Amino acid sequence: MTGICGLIGGAALGTEVTFDMNTILFGRTVRGIIEGDSIPEIFIPRLIDLYAQGRFPFDRLLRKYQFEEINQAVQDSEQGQVFKPVLVMAG
């Protein structure tokens, strides 16, 4: 069976991936993906439309932290407590 395995961007520099060569034979592909390889002018408005329809609740993926809570934001992210920590700058 053919197919594409997409490796999503965001890994630390130097991160290595290993797999058995037999897993990519017979027409299979391994491909790196950053931001869905999107065209921002199309992708971002589409995401906003999906959010407005209630089909992409991205607000549940993030948590806001005051800048002073930066260490907590990092810790929560590393422990999987939050998908996208957002720092809020006072001012």
At 7-30, the pLDDT tens digits run 887 778 888 888 888 888 888 888
Residue 88 structure tokens: 């809020």
pTM: 0.50
pLDDT digits (tens, 9 = 90+) for 65-83: 999 999 999 999 999 899 8
- Closest among 57, 77, 75, 73 to 65, alpha carbons compared: 73
Highest-pLDDT range among 35-44, 52-61, 64-73: 64-73
- Closest among 57, 52, 10 to 35, alpha carbons compared: 10
